[in-house]
Amino acid sequence: VIWMTQSPSLLSASTGDRVTISCRMSQGISSYLAWYQQKPGKAPELLIYAASTLQSGVPSRFSGSGSGTDFTLTISCLQSEDFATYYCQQYYSFPRTFGQGTKVEIK
C-alpha cells in the first residue's frame, strides 16, 4: 500500500493569495498523481492528472508539479470559489489511495 502525507491539513488564506499544498508518497509513483477539489456536500472534481496536466475547463491559476515522491498543487491567485478541500490521489498501484485532504478556508 502506498501511503500519502498531505500538508497542511488546514490552510487559511485570503482572496488573491498564492497557496501551495504538498503531497508526499511513501514510495515513488513516477507522475501517476491526480488532484481533486471537493466543496461541501458535493462530489470531488478532477483538477489535475499526470501530476501536472490540467483537466479541461479548470482555470489556469491551478497548477501541479512534482514526480517520484513529492508533489505540489499551487493556486496562483486564490478566488472565492476556490475555498474548498483538496485531495491528492495516486494511481501508480492498487489499492488506490488518497491524501488526507487540505481544507482551504477564508482567513
Partner 1 sequence: QVQLQESGPGLVKPSETLSLTCTVSGGSISSYYWSWIRQPPGKGLEWIGYIYYSGSTNYNPSLKSRVTISVDTSKNQFSLKLSSVTAADTAVYYCARHLWSGKEDKNWFDPWGQGTLVTVSS
Question: Which residue's CB is nearer to partner 1, number 15 or number 93?
Answer: 93
> Of the candidates 74, 96, 105, 107, which one interacts with partner 1 according to CB under 8 A?
96
* Interaction of residue 24 with partner 1, rule CB under 8 A: no
* Interaction of residue 105 with partner 1, rule CB under 8 A: no
Between residue 57 and residue 86, which ones bind partner 1 under the rule CB under 8 A? Answer: none
Alpha-carbon gap, residue 25 to 4, rounded angstroms: 5
State in angstroms the smallest separation of the CB of 72 from partner 1.
17
Alpha-carbon gap, residue 74 to 86, rounded angstroms: 11
State in angstroms the smallest separation of the CB of 58 from partner 1.
11
Q: Is 107:80 a contact under the CB 8 Å cutoff? A: no
Task: Name the residue among 52, 81, 86, 54 with its Cα closest to residue 67.
Answer: 52
User: What's the chain's length in residues?
Assistant: 107
Q: Which stretch binds partner 1 (CB under 8 A): 19-27, 46-54, 60-68, 74-82?
A: 46-54
Expressed in percent and rounded to 5, the helix, strand and coil fractions of the chain are 5, 50, 50
Note the residues at the interface with partner 1 (CB under 8 A). 1, 32, 34, 36, 42-46, 49-50, 55, 87, 89, 91-92, 94-101
